């Protein structure tokens, strides 16, 4: 059997609406679930962008009754999720709309399912299983990075701030996703870089995952090509519509690819690095990505060669070199010591990478090999 015959699964929201200006459809979409709408969103930047007023305008035009739940922070912890559940509960919404970056969308997913299943986040980390569908949920991303609008998990930080872990269920896949690139305009350069790199790395790892298949390969390859052509342009020309639209597709494709093929060791390492040393998620992924590719290369040489060519826009370019050039362009050091990591921290980071995304890495490295890799990155 060839690679084209490999098993490939596609589990996605019931409806995905993509396109510039499609946020105007949010009113009619929400109305299909009922009249009581709860909007969950982030902090001041979202309000100042004018996007909140746009969304509320489209919703109220259809006669929906709106309850606003704002102030959702980056890297939400289990306490914030549980507090948000109690803020939403009295309203008894027919549908919840999460609009923001990956953190906001993840909180919306978690709230939607905890309202119907009960319990606390830690219960589901501990093995409790979701048995009831969530309240209908519409995810609307305002960054081009996480792909959370099409996945079945929510990444939540522990209450002590020492770890991140997902809760997950097929019931958590949003009922609908509205991906409107116009909502990403105005994002700070640092956010565009970090989320753009996160989306790119999601596609790289999904394409080289041990669970990669022909459906996800098709999406991931196109996304890598678009990243090579438009990521730098979106940073240098933040008002370039085509570049913003391309990155929104990269993020969407990456979310679908990771949800169905899995990720790899770069994402596995990014969580402990990010939480213990304060790096944005996409940057944490980027710091280790080239080294992970270097260690994986022989197991997926043909695929990494293809990645290198797509990123560089010409054949014959090594994927490690192509990625390092991109990281250099954005001023991202790939030395862990530049972020305060010391040799004494390596056991902590190695332990924190176990399970999850690391399970899908094309090579099953043991802790000794992971620690060696991290030491080389110091």
pLDDT tens track for 178-191: 999 999 988 889 99
Per DSSP, 162 falls in state S
Residue 308 to residue 290: CA distance in whole angstroms: 11
> What is the arrangement of strands in the sheet containing 65-69, beginning at the earlier edge strand?
15-18, 176-179, 137-141, 95-100, 36-40, 65-69
Residue 154 to residue 177: CA distance in whole angstroms: 15
**So what's the pLDDT on residue 103?**
92
Domain residue spans in the chain? 15-183, 188-377
Tell me if domain 15-183 and domain 188-377 are identical in fold: no
Q: Burial letters for 291-305: b for 16+ Cβ neighbours within 10 Å, e otherwise?
A: bbbbbbbeebeebbb
Per DSSP, 176 falls in state E
Per DSSP, 133 falls in state P
Residue 291 to residue 377: CA distance in whole angstroms: 8
Pairing of strands 65-69, 36-40: parallel
**So what's the pLDDT on residue 243?**
96
User: Could you tell me if 234 and 247 are in contact, meaning their C-beta atoms sit under 8 angstroms apart?
Assistant: yes
- Collect the ranges in the chain with pLDDT lower than 50: none
Architecture of domain 188-377: Up-down Bundle (1.20)
190: helix, strand or coil:
helix
CA distances from residue 128 to 29, 122, 132 in whole angstroms, order as listed: 32, 9, 12
**So what's the pLDDT on residue 204?**
97
**So what's the pLDDT on residue 163?**
78
- Confidence (pTM): 0.95
Architecture of domain 15-183: 3-Layer(aba) Sandwich (3.40)
Element of type H or E holding 153? strand 153-157
**So what's the pLDDT on residue 34?**
93
């Amino acid at each position: 059997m060839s690679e084209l015959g490999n098993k490939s699964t596609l589990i996605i929201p019931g409806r995905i609406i993509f396109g510039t200006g499609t946020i105007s459809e949010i009113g009619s979409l929400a109305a299909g679930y009922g009249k009581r709408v709860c909007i969950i969103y982030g902090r001041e930047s979202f309000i100042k962008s004018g996007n909140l007023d746009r969304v509320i305008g489209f919703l109220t035009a259809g006669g929906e009754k709106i309850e606003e739940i704002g102030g959702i922070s980056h890297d939400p912890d289990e306490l914030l999720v549980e507090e948000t559940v109690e803020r939403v509960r009295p309203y008894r919404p027919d549908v919840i709309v999460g609009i923001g970056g990956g953190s906001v969308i993840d909180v919306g997913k978690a709230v939607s399912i905890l309202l119907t299943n009960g319990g606390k986040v830690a219960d589901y980390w501990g093995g409790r299983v979701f048995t009831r569908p969530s309240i209908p949920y519409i995810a609307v991303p305002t960054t081009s990075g996480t792909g959370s609008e099409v996945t079945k998990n929510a990444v939540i930080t522990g209450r002590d701030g020492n770890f991140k872990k997902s809760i997950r269920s097929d019931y958590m896949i949003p009922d609908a996703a509205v991906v409107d690139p116009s909502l990403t305009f105005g994002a700070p350069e640092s956010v565009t870089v970090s989320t753009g790199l996160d989306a790119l790395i999601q596609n790289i790892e999904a394409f080289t995952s041990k669970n990669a298949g022909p459906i996800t390969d098709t999406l991931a390859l196109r996304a890598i090509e678009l990243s090579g052509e438009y990521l730098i342009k979106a940073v240098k020309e933040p008002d370039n519509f085509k570049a913003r639209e391309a990155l929104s597709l990269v993020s969407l494709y990456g979310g679908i690819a990771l949800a169905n093929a899995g990720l790899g060791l770069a994402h596995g390492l990014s969580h402990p690095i990010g939480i213990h040393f304060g790096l944005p998620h996409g940057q944490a992924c980027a710091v280790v990505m080239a080294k992970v590719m270097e260690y994986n290369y022989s197991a997926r040489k043909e695929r990494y060669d293809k990645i290198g060519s797509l990123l560089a826009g010409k054949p014959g370019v090594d994927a490690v070199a192509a990625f390092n050039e991109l990281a250099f362009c954005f001023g991202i050091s790939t030395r862990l010591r530049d972020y305060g990591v010391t040799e004494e921290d390596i056991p902590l980071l190695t332990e924190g990478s176990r399970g999850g995304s690391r399970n899908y890495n094309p090579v099953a490295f043991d802790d000794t090999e992971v620690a060696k890799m991290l030491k080389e990155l110091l």
